[in-house]
Chain A
């Protein structure tokens, strides 16, 4: 800022009022120092403000003599007060100071650790919460499916076909609910064990004379959910069978792995 800019900026008026920052004050003092015009301007402003403020004084202030006594009184008192403090007071005040700062530091570290612990706990709870939200949403979907299933089985004209366990798998079972009007089957596979890795259950529609199987689909994602599956079936089925096949299914059923079978 040039001297001219400063002169008209309005900053000199605020400088005299003492309401600028320390940095601004120092800058302005430096600019004024080398400029007689600015110095005169500041003196003029100060004089105007002194007159303005003096006009508010209710009467003439006390004379200097009246306060002079207090200056004399205050001087020795102040010196005596300071010196002993420096000699005798310093050690323990200093120790106290160190102790206080140590405590403060320790408290700060403790707080910092606590904050981190809480942050971690918070993150854990958040991920648990996410998981629960997912689970709830998945259970809701399952429940919907069960409701659909119940609704489906209550309809008229639904053919229920129990599939019994075969040969080595005689402790297993399944049920087929066939809606011929919609060409849909619901498979309740809750009586089948979880398929081993790399294997999936395949559902077959069978014609009996001659015996000819037609695949109607896989029981995908067997381990998820409630073991109720919906498949399309437009075949003139006479029986249904479920075999365990390599993932993706086979062209024809592997008879050694025929788990359940039932005739319509």
Chain B
């Protein structure tokens, strides 16, 4: 079934279609959420909430405003950021300033990962520092061009070009992954 049909079926509360979307996107969204909350159990809880919410609010998605992945990505980011801002989280005193990738690439138990994930990680390690920061802000934290420009102190016009070049580089490195 084409993705478009899967999405239409999902909006009609077809569980099989929802399962298909879940399998497609759960790892990616788990990664985004984990990147923000930096806690395994908490990230699982947020991911769970995100999909339950997506199921309940499936009627709110409209294809003309963007892809289903992007819709889910936005819900995930917002839920993770809300969690980080919550009082209970703040009391746990996590270090939110540390880079998403650097810690994660270094600390995970490599034997537990799939081979292709290992490959992506090795690719990430070869990505330029400036790519890491721009990808992190845009795809994980959902920063707009203006926010990235302010955060990294680079001209507004550079953000779009740099992001495109970095995604391009990533794609080239990932061929066959």
Contact = CB atoms under 8 A, between A and B. Distances in A.
B34 A29 contact: no
A211 interface: no
A58 B34 contact: yes
Given A14-B163, A71-B52, A56 B67 contact: no
Interface stretch (A39-47, A111-119, A144-152, A224-232): A39-47
Interface string B41-52: 001100110011
Contacts of B19: 64, 68
B104 A67 contact: no
A78 interface: yes
A60 to B, nearest CB: 7
Contacts of A16: 67, 69-70
Contact of B48 (A48, A56, A67): A67
A58 B22 contact: no
A87 interface: no
Interface in B1-50: 15, 18-19, 22-23, 25-32, 34-35, 40, 43-44, 47-48
Given A46-B69, A68-B15, A53 B174 contact: no
A87 B121 CA distance: 55
A181 interface: no
Interface residues of A, number: 43
- Which applies to chain A's interface (DSSP): helix, strand, loop or mixed? helix
Contacts of B23: 64
A50 B160 contact: no
B128 interface: no
A52 B15 CA distance: 27
Contacts of B89: none
Contact of B44 (A22, A30, A61, A70): A61
Given A14-B160, A29-B64, A55 B121 contact: yes
A56 B52 contact: no
A15 B160 CA distance: 11
Interface of A: 8-11, 13-20, 22, 25-26, 29-30, 42, 44-46, 48-62, 64, 67-68, 70-71, 74, 78
